[in-house]
């Protein structure tokens, strides 16, 4: 049995990933649109091609992304490509090994913050001295 892609759910996923509210999408689609109409659109299993193109243009995603995105397939791909040290496969492309020492970076930032605070303190002392 072939699994049907739910266009409306995919519109909602992309809209949320892009941080766009239903009201914002409605505003971009034109005067005929409102939040309620977007909500109904997101419930439709299949969206007409011309409307889907219009929504995709507003979201700045390819129409094919909305038509073909399958969350279950994406999860399977991610699950099958994540490298775990318990069962290392030699595929270290997906592992993150920082090329710097995080503690050194934190100390560097702390020292810069401390220097900035000292400068502010000195400026305030100078202003107080001038006021006396």
Q: Check residue 31 and give its pLDDT.
A: 94
Q: Check residue 98 and give its pLDDT.
A: 57
Cut 0.75: pTM above it: no
CATH number for the segment(s) 7-81:
1.10.260.40
Residues of the chain with pLDDT under 50: 85-89, 92
- Label residue 124 exposed, middle or buried (CB < 10 Å: 0-12, 13-18, 19+): exposed
Q: Check residue 65 and give its pLDDT.
A: 86
Please state the domain extents for the chain.
Answer: 7-81, 100-132
* Of residues 73, 24, 67, 18, the one with CA closest to residue 46: 67
Q: Check residue 7 and give its pLDDT.
A: 93
Q: Check residue 32 and give its pLDDT.
A: 94
């Amino acid at each position: 049995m072939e699994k049907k892609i739910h266009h409306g759910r995919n519109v909602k996923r992309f809209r949320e990933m892009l941080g766009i509210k239903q009201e914002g999408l409605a505003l971009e689609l034109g005067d005929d649109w409102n939040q309620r109409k977007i909500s109904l659109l997101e419930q439709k299993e299949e969206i007409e091609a011309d409307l889907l193109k219009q929504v995709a243009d507003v979201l700045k995603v390819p129409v094919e992304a909305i038509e073909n995105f399958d969350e279950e397939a994406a999860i399977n791909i991610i699950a099958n490509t994540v490298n775990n040290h318990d069962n290392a496969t030699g595929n270290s492309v997906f592992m993150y090994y920082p090329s710097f020492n995080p503690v050194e970076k934190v100390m560097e930032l702390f020292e810069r913050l401390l220097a900035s605070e000292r400068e502010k303190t000195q400026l305030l002392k100078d202003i107080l001295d001038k006021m006396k």
